[in-house]
Amino acid sequence: MESSDARIVRGALLVTVPVCAVVTAVAALLDGLDGLYGALFGSLLAIAFFAVTIVAVSVAGRIDPLLMLPAALGTYVVKMGGILVVLLVLRDTEAFDRGAFAVATVIGAVAFMVAEVRFALRARTPYVDTEHGAPPGR
């Protein structure tokens, strides 16, 4: 993983984890242990969802920059399938509050995306390759 990618992930996690902790605490206060478990599971799902994409795209980028978009799309499709399976398996569960799970997943996802975009926009990442000198004809 590139150092700039690692900084973006670390920054996004430093924002998302406290937000998810607050959501989990509120869910626990409002709905007890069921709310706590639901919010905790939803928060972990949101964090894992985005972290897996960043790692996969970063690894693909090290192999060949042209693989970054297919890696992002491929991980997205696999994750959507995985989430569908998880939701189908857990649709009738009484182990946790599904409302707290849904709210925590959405809030965790939004917090991670906003933080990731903010840190990515502030990162000083070069986007021009100057290794090979000036283009031919100049």
The total number of structural domains in the chain stands at 1
Quote the CA–CA distance of 48 and 46 in Å, as a whole number.
Answer: 6
Q: Are 56 and 75 in contact (CB under 8 A)?
A: yes
What share of the chain in percent tops pLDDT 70? 86
pLDDT band per the 50, 70, 90 thresholds, residue 6: confident
Residue 138 forms part of a structural domain? no
Residue 134 forms part of a structural domain? no
Q: Are 4 and 123 in contact (CB under 8 A)?
A: yes
Q: pLDDT (tens digit, 9 = 90+) per residue, 15-68?
A: 999 999 999 999 999 999 999 999 999 999 988 888 888 888 888 888 888 888
Quote the CA–CA distance of 50 and 9 in Å, as a whole number.
Answer: 9
Spatial CB neighbours of 75, under 8 Å, sequence gap ≥ 6: 52, 53, 56, 57
Spatial CB neighbours of 54, under 8 Å, sequence gap ≥ 6: 1, 5, 8, 9, 116
Residue 113 forms part of a structural domain? yes
* Residue whose C-alpha is closest to residue 26's, from 43, 46, 48: 43
> For residue 50, what are the domain limits?
3-122
Residue 127 forms part of a structural domain? no
Residue 131 forms part of a structural domain? no
Residue 128 forms part of a structural domain? no
Q: Are 90 and 42 in contact (CB under 8 A)?
A: no
pTM: 0.76
Q: What type of residue sits at position 73?
A: L
Residue 132 forms part of a structural domain? no
Instruction: Write phi, then psi, for 35 (nearest 5 degrees).
Output: -65, -40
Length of the chain: 138
Q: pLDDT (tens digit, 9 = 90+) per residue, 78-91?
A: 988 988 898 888 88
Whether the pLDDT of residue 96 is over 60: the answer is yes
